[in-house]
Amino acid sequence: MELSKLPKITHSGKKRVGRGLGSGKGGHTSGRGNKGQRARGKIALFFEGTKFKKSLIKRLPLIRGKGKFKSTQPKNIVVNVKYLNLFKENEEVTFASLQAKGIIAKDISPTTPVKILGEGELKIPLKVFLPVSLGAKKKIEAAGGEILSGEKTQTTPKTEKVSDQKKAKSIETKENSTKAKTKKERSSQGA
């Protein structure tokens, strides 16, 4: 087989159909089948059988009555400063510790946001790891406590798993790169 004697690749041109019955090729249905919207015209790319607005409404849950326009998102659980007197001195205030003390119900998901508000008085210093209002912040700091919301923030178990996976991957890549470097060094020393 020689490159100069290869058979030529033939491309047949596009057949022009739908040019009348006398044209001899595809004059009647032109490969579109019999009757209907598909045979006659084009269907829009995002057509869903009805108006888009109507189909969007159909996808939403059917809520009737007074609470029809209320938000379906979970509301913040509010914990006032007066309930934090149940803790011991310098104890950590977290979502789990609030559940353990019975301030928050145990069946509530840890993804539900909690906020501490400033109603009542606080007599003991605490380490708070939750979001607080301005009034609550003043009362906690006046009692000798501190707000450390950035360190042990509420996170879902899913996000923790993802971050653990990312850490593991970064450690693996670092190990692999160091192994490759040592191999190169050994090969250069041996040569």
CATH 3.100.10.10 fits 77-147, yes or no: yes
* pLDDT for residue 13: 84
Share the mean pLDDT of the chain.
82
Kindly tell me if the per-residue pLDDT of 103 is higher than 70: yes
Distance (Å, rounded) from C-alpha 191 to C-alpha 186? 9
Distance (Å, rounded) from C-alpha 9 to C-alpha 12? 10
Residue whose entry in the numeric block shows the structure tokens 């009348």: 20
Higher pLDDT, 164 or 135: 135
H/E stretch holding 110: none
Task: State pLDDT tens for residues 19-34.
Answer: 888 887 788 888 889 9
**Integer angstrom CA distances of residue 157 from 96, 111, 115, 149, 160:** 13, 9, 20, 18, 5
Domain boundaries, the chain: 77-147
- pTM higher than 0.75, yes or no? no
- Contact (Cβ atoms closer than 8 angstroms) between residue 182 and residue 190: no
Query: Which conformational region is residue 20 in: left (phi greater than 0), alpha (psi within -120 to 50 degrees), or beta?
Result: left
**Integer angstrom CA distances of residue 178 from 172, 173, 185:** 10, 9, 11
Residues 69-79, mean pLDDT to the nearest whole number: 83
Higher pLDDT, 140 or 10: 140
- Contact (Cβ atoms closer than 8 angstroms) between residue 73 and residue 113: no
Task: State pLDDT tens for residues 38-47.
Answer: 888 888 887 7
